[in-house]
Structure 1
């Protein structure tokens, strides 16, 4: 740890990112290994993203409880300067709140007053957005010693002085010429800061890396899928994995990115990582001839000292549906068969709730926690799902609508586990997705590289079909008994993509919703006890902390993420109001009046293009544009709705934006490397057609 002067002249500290660094109102102690290992008994603080290394996201605080939560009110709020999805879990350390925001910015606040202490902007190039499947989000920071660590969207790991926000060191963790991003929170174990990355939808090879906390020196790297056999393997685990792959998978990247979930058991000294989907999704292209394709869609245990493989369990062998196993993992000690058992629990995208022995990866139980049609059950002898043969569109060559869909029965929003009730609280989604094999598919430098014709499943113009699709896409908060493998209670949600979960010893469960509410439920039976309007969709998970004996509950709010940008038809009325909200008993603060979402009129030029040109534009839009501008060109409230664009009727300006990168600094990069002039014009004509279709519907409904 760096030596510090005992006296600091705060007036001489430079302005950081437009904000004066000011001293915290409380003494800040170093975040040590001992503190993190003992975090479960530290009632006042929230030291790591899951509160503890076991990632239970459960607090023993009881000052706010099921008897008095109705008195909860806003203590303070802080508006953020990034109007995109907010997904971070705050840290609360010795009276200071640390958050990351969209575009990987970091801010520190006095946890009692809400005073901004410092702000840091890593100045992520806005053209990095084209590499991000799901908005410019960030899920949190990590702390160790006197530093705060954050991963940036453009692939850097940054270390900041915790007291001032001053840059200490930074290191590039990815090949920035490839389609890598970082959106997940780092973890720090024994002086090693560990970070993964994302990008499997765009064609990369997954790995995680450990760096020295003091200087950013790389210490080890663990690849999750094998590379080119001719170049040798980085470990025996990859040599074994290569036997489960076919063809020349390494030329397409392979996938398997570790973009979010990790957990750590100090007693076993094992780090658990969740591994993502294949690249491309369609296994017929990725690994022609099949195979399990290890270690895709797997929970993998590593030795954090050197990154060596310990064991793995694969949730979806030979995955072809984007069924990641990157979802939140929880460690707990449960009574299993009458005996104590060290377990790891996960509810990944594929719809099964898994309980494994975390000492060796042995499957103990797997039951469906959500509707599904791709599989009937998990064979407890082999540990493999029994698949519906029709779901294998990669083998049948026929379209398939799968439940759950690519966004999963449970996405990234964290669940929680209460030792008091023994329940896991899961933000569940009921979704479907059409998979249509794309004939003649080839990888591109930009856009989705998934091997599926995304245009074939686009939302139709028919308003009745749209309405039915929206109604069928719902969500829920459920309490799940992991020992009995059964649902105990359920709270229905009107849509998907609701926030992460916090449980407390005060018999409470907190969750925010996509519909703009922040709510508390009785943890034992799911009775709603408190609800408040937060003016925007909530994606992030709440935390709770205490200062001077008073308990607070904090949550980041701000609509965005994959559901805020890709399926725009589901989020056209949800505004983005990015804020940090902090509540306490008797809080009297109020939010400013909500500014309504103002949409430009649908006033497109006449559609005169041929059906062939429209079809070509539809395909290109789905592959290169839909991730940001919405399925079937129906935009949400985060990125511009191109149907309402002022340049839709201006062919020259459209070309300048799409091909020449006129708006690069806003995140709209040049697509010249993958799209020619005629293709860009086809996209424009498709958007014109869609705008005319929706205008006709709008006029007919008046």
Structure 2
């Protein structure tokens, strides 16, 4: 049975919550698993300069600060500041920079309040700086075991913090949410957000704080977990409510009526075959007038619906936008962008709230460009679909039916055959990199990209996958001639993974202008009242464009890839622009074979610019290293082919397709001669766990580990024959 939005949504928007339902939402049975390890005094008076809801709502009255992830609750990432503008942006220079403690996967959006900048780094590090001088004020290291990274599908990234009262709130990769004193960085309280410690739960997103509650979701759909969102009291750390995004095992009883209803859209034993997925790992927005919190929900687990829900169904709430009451977590409405998702088309991408004239009427809207390639405009009061148009190439669906609100799927896209290319691929037409909306131009700016992939039912077997790698896609396995059709390999090459910066008219549903941005995707975005649009890229350039025309007005070489989103703020009457850099993420690890040598030298920094500044970044000494495979003896071709399959199943997601690393994690071909004597201890026993290499003895036998080694040796010899070289930091 499939439940339409009309059946399942609007009827509950204004419905009162029964006492029993309130108890099940606010007092989840899982609450006993979360313990507060340190609690602040509940009666403590707010510190001077305390961040409050009123202060965030009135952000435009004090535009010199950046108090929440998207600057405002509406997440527009637009600043009214215009001291830096299209007429003088060419005078922008480096005011100061600070090295971050982890050279990997920097996706943070800085925050600025009361003259202090707050940023996060990989694993969940949190740092505070003097926003004018760059002096480091404090640094909190959550001390996540490095081998916990094996539980993260897409790198050990962290997208930012939240401010409330006199605290900074952030989360660590291993699922802990903590409050830190804003002045000292000392721990105030900490909770473990995981409902259990056996499943691979992670946190990579930034918390949001609404009505005095810290809201956080979890990642792990690719690792076979059940999704949920939890709200904690900002003062005490006590759980206020929890909303599950997919249903659990019916035999255990449903947490509330919503779970019972959505279970009717699932078939088979989804609670065993991937546990549903639907993790809410990034996007949230909040409307304080409606008191609705909007949740972007991720893909199903496994990706392949034939395994997850064999008789079909919409599988709510995967790949959906869900609105809940911010005080209780009670369901209000939902819109599902990809019913029965089969391609990892998450709806966890950035959401923007605005008021737009639609058919002559001003509407309170929510806008999103999720992975599936359609740009959606919804009425955020009730979830009504107002428009849905393709913003990038799409083959999986022909269009979205405006009567039903459902996509019209193209024939054959669910077949799962090894020669069917589907676009977008699993990395999406737009991933986590935040969009921005400028009320000055009326345009939404999207960091988009085009690519395609294959999804084959028999690519791997369920027994070996543990759901994670089922249908993972040919995109991670570039250049394997015996396993991936040539057109599929070409579809994940550098040219096909092409980024665009799109200026999108959300009223007309069309592109206004577009700029090519190189490989994969440009960084998150910032727009300003100075008719400026800021974005970085993976070639190591930070640029400013004219928001109305797309003309490039300024650029600065920053020495390394930029993924994170810029912000702007003022101190003592001067406007600054801040951005963090550090490449990584869902393609930074596996796509070494197409990413290019420019990313081998990875740098993680926070950089701050202002007009007239003349600071310089230090020169990074580099050297060229040649791949040397002299003396390596190769095993038989059968060993190599068996090792290839195992490597691509267990190792490629970090060490790269074809064993070619992008440089964030060691390229095993360059190190195989050194590590071969200790190979079994490293791979099976975790001899390098402190460096992040986990023990695989629960998944691999000694013979299988040896097969992987033989494959790496084979690839090292091939690379040496090609005369392969790479850039590395000089000692």
TM-score after normalising by structure 1: 0.93
- SS of residue matched to 1:291: coil
Matched, 1:254 2:276: yes
Instruction: Say whether 1:128 aligns with 2:153.
Output: no
Q: Distance in 1 between matches of 2:461 and 2:480?
A: 26
1:512 matched to 2:532? The reply is no
Greater shift, 435-444 or 104-113, is seen at 435-444
Partner of 1:407: 427
Aligned residues of 1:155 and 1:176 also touching (Cα < 8 A): no
1:238 to 245, 259, 262: 259
**Structure 1 residue ranges without an equivalent (≥5):** 7-26
Question: What is the deviation of 1:603?
Answer: 1.7
* Residue matched to 2:478: 459
Tell me by how many angstroms 1:598 deviates: 4.7
- What's the CA shift for 1:201? 0.7
| Contact 1:571–1:637 (Cα < 8 Å) also in 2 | no
Identify the range of structure 1 (195-204 vs 683-692) with the bigger mean alpha-carbon deviation.
Answer: 683-692
Structure 1 residues 238 and 641, CA gap change in structure 2 (3 angstroms): same
The CA deviation string for residues 577-596 of structure 1, in whole angstroms up to 9 with x for no partner, is 11000000001111001233
Q: Would the alpha carbon gap of residues 655 and 351 (structure 1) be closer, same or farther in structure 2, given more than 3 Å must change?
A: same
In terms of mean alpha carbon deviation, does 566-575 or 194-203 score higher?
A: 566-575
What residue in structure 1 maps to residue 606 of structure 2? 580
**Cα 1:118–1:280, aligned 2, differ >3 Å: closer, same or farther?**
same
Q: TM-score, normalised by structure 2?
A: 0.89
Task: Give runs of aligned pairs for residues 543-692 of structure 1, distance below 5 A.
Answer: 543-573=567-597, 574=599, 575-596=601-622, 598-599=624-625, 601-603=627-629, 606=632, 608-647=634-673, 650=676, 652-692=677-717
Q: CA deviation at 1:597?
A: 6.1
211, 223, 227: which one aligns with 2:232: 211
Are residues 655 and 375 of structure 1, via their aligned partners in 2, closer, same or farther at CA, if it must alter by over 3 Å? same
Question: Could you say what secondary structure the match of 2:259 adopts?
Answer: helix
Offset at residue 453 of structure 1 (A): 6.4
Partner of 1:270 in structure 2?
292
**Aligned residue for 2:157?**
137
Cα distance between partner residues in 2 of 1:41 and 1:438: 57
**SS state of the match for residue 206, structure 2?**
coil
SS in structure 2 at match of 1:393:
coil
Question: Contact 1:195 / 1:209 at 8 angstroms: preserved in 2?
Answer: yes
Describe the superposition over 1:378-409 as per-residue Cα deviations: whole angstroms up to 9, x where unpaired: 11111111112221134xx5542211111000
Contact 1:455-1:619 at 8 Å conserved across structures: no
Deviation at 1:44, TM superposition (A): 0.9
**Cα distance in 1 between the residues matched to 2:109 and 2:553:** 23
Match of 1:179 in 2: 200
The answer to whether structure 1 residue 354 and structure 2 residue 376 are counterparts is yes
Q: CA–CA distance in 2 between the matches of 1:377 and 1:82?
A: 43
The answer to whether structure 1 residue 199 and structure 2 residue 220 are counterparts is yes
Say if 2:549 is the partner of 1:525.
yes
- Please list every run of 5 or more consecutive structure 2 residues that lacks an aligned counterpart in the other structure: 1-39, 727-731
1:362–1:570 Cα change, 3 Å: same
Residues 181-217 of structure 1: CA distance to partner in whole angstroms, max 9, x if unpaired? 1000000011100100101111100001001111211
Q: Indicate yes or no: 2:524 matched with 1:500.
A: yes
Instruction: Return the offset for 1:528.
Output: 0.5
Q: Over the residues paired in the alignment, what is the CA RMSD in angstroms?
A: 2.2
Distance 1:172 1:457 in 2: 32
Confirm or deny: 8 A CA contact 2:540 2:562 kept in the other structure.
yes
Q: Encode CA deviations 1:552-606: one digit per residue, 9 max, x unaligned.
A: 0000011111221111113342121110000000011110012336546242654
CA distance in 1, matches of 2:101, 2:625: 21
1:491-510 CA-to-partner distances (Å, cap 9, x unmatched) read 11121132000000010000
* 1:159 to 1:604, Cα distance in 2 relative to 1, 3 A: farther
Q: 2 CA distance for matches of 1:700 and 1:669?
A: 28
- C-alpha contact 1:263 1:272 (8 A) present in aligned 2: yes
Tell me the residue number matched to 2:338. 316
Q: State whether residues 225 and 296 of structure 1, in contact with CA within 8 Å, keep that contact through their aligned partners in structure 2.
A: yes
CA distance in 2, matches of 1:670, 1:206: 26
Report what 2:31 is aligned to.
none
Return the alpha-carbon distance in structure 2 between the equivalents of residues 297 and 417 of structure 1.
23
Paired residue secondary structure (1:640)? coil
- 1:57-456 matched pairs, under 5 angstroms: 57-174=77-194, 175-251=196-272, 252-394=274-416, 397-438=417-458, 441-442=461-462, 449-452=468-471, 454=473
* 2: CA distance, partners of 1:700 / 1:304: 54
Q: Distance in 2 between matches of 1:81 and 1:291?
A: 46
Against the structure 1 CA distance between its residues 699 and 526, is the aligned structure 2 distance closer, same or farther, given a 3 Å change threshold? Answer: closer
- Between the aligned partners of 2:394 and 2:630, the Cα distance in structure 1 is 40
1:607 to partner: Cα distance: 5.5
1:351-397 CA distances to partner (integer Å, 9 max, x unpaired)? 00000000000100000000111111111111111112221134xx5
User: How many Å separate the matches in 1 of 2:674 and 2:270?
Assistant: 40
What is the Cα deviation at residue 40 of structure 1?
Answer: 3.2
Alpha-carbon separation, structure 2, partners of 1:384 and 1:311:
16
State the distance in 1 between where 2:456 and 2:720 align: 29
- Judged with a 3 Å threshold, the aligned counterparts in structure 2 of structure 1 residues 456 and 497 are, in CA distance, closer, same or farther, namely closer
- Partner-residue secondary structure (3-state), 1:221: strand
Cα distance change, pair 75–2 in 1 and its aligned pair in 2 (3 A): farther
* Cα distance, 1:119–1:186 mapped onto 2, change above 3 Å: same
What is the count of residue pairs matched by the alignment? 676
Instruction: Report the Cα offset of residue 454 of structure 1.
Output: 4.7
Q: How much does 1:136 deviate?
A: 1.2
Cα deviation, residue 42, structure 1:
2.1
Mean Cα deviation higher: 688-697 or 288-297: 688-697
How has the CA–CA distance of structure 1 residues 265 and 386 changed in structure 2, closer, same or farther, with 3 Å as cutoff?
same
